[in-house]
Homo-oligomer: A and B are copies of this chain.
Amino acid sequence: MTRKFLAAMIALTLAAPAQADVLIDNVEGLTIGEDGTIQRFTALVIDDDGKVAQILSAKDKKPQTDYREDGEGAVMIPGLVDAHAHVMGIGIGALTLDLSDTTSLEEALDKIRRFAAENEARPWILGRGWNQEKWGLGRFPTAAELDRAVSDRPVYLQRVDGHAGWANSLAMQAAGIDANTKSPAGGRVERIPGSQAPAGVFVDAAEALMMRAIPAPRPNERDLAFAEAQKVLHSFGITAVADMGTSIEDWQAFRRAGDTGALTLRIMAYAAGPDQMELIAGARPSPWLYDDKLRLNGVKIYLDGALGSRGAWLKRPYADDPGNTGLPLTGPAKLRNILVRAAQGNFQPAIHAIGTAANEDALNAIAELAESFPGDRRWRIEHAQIVDPVDLPKFGQHGIIASMQPVHQTSDRVMAEARLGADRLDGAYAWNTILGLGGRLAFGSDAPVESPDPFAGLAAAVTRMDAAGEPFGGWRAQDRVNREQALAGFTSEAAYAGFAEGRFGRLLPGERADFVLIDRDPMLASPGELRATKVLETWVGGRKVYDAD
């Protein structure tokens, strides 16, 4: 090698935008280790590719590195992985007006007026969270009242429970709603007393009259929403998510971020149905793109609805609605067709199943398919909320992953007791039972349905108590998991559920340096303290993406 050639190569290396080695020192680090138990360390070295080069304990000699950062004694854990969320839903939610903290109509109108002024470019003002009971109004608000806040653009605001919406006059005009508009079956158009004129509030099925007039988000709104979603998730310490129900529009927004270097969240995408799956990825899952930041893994399939609205498909009727067992949204033959189509292309199916009948059919369908499509398939059942105890052992077969959301259990328990009755709860949110039977657990939030905060999820997972500490000792406490299992569910196991093990989810050499600095030790904090954990910094691929200061 000539001296000149050597010099040229060094120049080339210096010119390249490679990161140099970084040592992050003086941390109380912990990760799920190679053996599946907690491994502790005091320093971490990040290599040029943003991967973990080494983790060091106090007695190890520190290597020479180009940069050194002092962790100031903070606790370092792997970046949290949310195994079930709706990324664009989080972002779009974050961009809309939130009225849930308003305590009077006048306060709400002020907030609406301010939001409209701060968002001049938006053609529609959209929001949610109002509650006329909390306002002490004793009646629904009206379009005329809303016109006082905003009269230059259409406005549509959903009630806190999503079961009613409040429009201004321009919004009703845009939707073509007037005195001649009839209330649809299952819904009600509120009227001005003593007249047929619409008053401005649309209840249940009547909401659809308004919804169809609201324009789909523009591409730049999608980009803004995605940027917002990344910010929100990183602020909670989340570095990766499984996006459940990715549309081509969502995917293109993720790629735009990737193409322009703005993608900081790792996304394991599950397409919104088999057609979107093929449109997005073609005949096979996509490769890992953008340094392990994006992959189309598989397809989300809705087998049934939700428990609250009695859409979950049960083996026996609802305790509080004896004629009703719910319904499959995807019938058995169609489910198997979709599963075959997915399996032929090595796509991973993620089957939404809430009720006992839905979980039974999902488990049976997987057992049938597993014969024709052997190998490492990682069949996922999403939610797996209410399982007939006789079906639970099937989670231990065929490597099935139960992708569950601990906070749903604490939010739903009273409702679940009403829907099912006390004697049919043995397979409800049965985390520990499923683990004990050889199933694998991945944990998530279902954000924006719940907050994406994984520390609330960790606390719920180990206590089965809600933020108020109810019920004391935990609801059906035998299905709590231990702290290690909870952390694995939100890190290594959530990564495994998306074929990402070895890429991220643990702080071990060769994995991406995705980590969070927090203010307390999740293995030692009391459950209440764990829930109140403060995220100080979030890092993805060796770069800081969130700083609480």
10 contacts across the A-B interface (CB closer than 8 A): A2-B64, A9-B10, A12-B13, A12-B48, A218-B278, A218-B283, A220-B282, A220-B283, A256-B282, A259-B289
Q: Does residue A280 face the partner (Cβ distance < 8 Å to B)?
A: yes
Contact indicator A259/B283 (Cβ below 8 Å) = no
Q: Which of A9, A222, A253 has the most CB of B within 10 A?
A: A9
Shortest Cβ-Cβ A-B pairs, 8 listed: A219-B282, A220-B283, A219-B283, A9-B13, A219-B278, A256-B282, A13-B13, A259-B287
Q: Out of B4, B10, B248, B281, which one reaches A10, CB within 8 Å?
A: B10
Interface residues of A in 276-290 (CB under 8 A from B): 278-283, 286-287, 289
* Min C-beta distance of A430 to chain B, whole Å: 39
From residue A466, how far is it (CB to closest CB) to chain B in Å?
41
Does A533 interact with chain B (Cβ within 8 Å)? no
Q: Are A279 and B259 in contact (CB under 8 A)?
A: no
**In the complex, are the beta carbons of B253 and A282 less than 8 A apart?**
yes
Q: Is A6 an interface residue (CB 8 A)?
A: yes
**Chain B residues with Cβ under 8 A from A219's Cβ?**
278, 281-283
A223 touches B4 (CB 8 A): no
A249 with B12: CB separation less than 8 A: no
CB-CB contacts below 8 Å: A245-287 with B: 248-249, 252-253, 255-256, 259-260, 278-283, 286-287
Which among B4, B9, B279, B287 is the interface contact of A248 at CB below 8 angstroms?
B279
CB distance from A199 to the nearest CB of B (A): 36
Q: Which of B252, B280, B289 contacts A280 (CB 8 A)?
A: B252
Interface string of A455-469 (1 = CB under 8 A from B): 000000000000000
Q: Are A223 and B283 in contact (CB under 8 A)?
A: yes
Contact call B279/A249, Cβ cutoff below 8 A = yes
Contacts of A283 in B (CB 8 A): 218-220, 223
Taking a contact as CB atoms under 8 Å apart, the answer to whether A64 and B4 are in contact is yes
Q: Shortest distance in angstroms between A216's beta carbon and chain B's nearest beta carbon?
A: 10
In the assembly, what is the distance between CA of A280 and CA of B287, in Å? 19
Inter-subunit contact B4/A222 (CB<8 Å): no
Q: What is the CB-to-nearest-CB distance from A51 to chain B, in angstroms, rounded to a whole number?
A: 14
Min C-beta distance of A139 to chain B, whole Å: 42
A298 to chain B, nearest CB (A): 15
Q: Say yes or no: B260 contacts A279, CB within 8 Å.
A: no
Scoring A14, A66, A252 by chain B CB atoms within 10 A of each residue's CB, the highest score goes to: A252
Bound-complex Cα distance A199 to B14 (A): 73
Contact (A252, B4) CB under 8 Å given A9-B10, A10-B10, A259-B287: no
8 more A-B contacts (CB under 8 A) besides A5-B64, A9-B13, A218-B283?
A: A12-B48, A13-B13, A219-B278, A248-B248, A249-B279, A253-B282, A256-B286, A259-B286
Closest residue on chain B to residue A218 by CB atoms: B283
* Residues on B with beta carbons closer than 8 Å to the beta carbon of A252: 279-282
| Residues of the B chain whose Cβ atoms lie less than 8 Å from the Cβ of A48 | 12
In the bound complex, residues from chain B placing their C-beta under 8 Å from that of A13 are: 9-10, 12-13
- B223 touching A282, Cβ below 8 Å: yes
CB distance from A526 to the nearest CB of B (A): 46
A6–B10 contact, CB under 8 A? yes
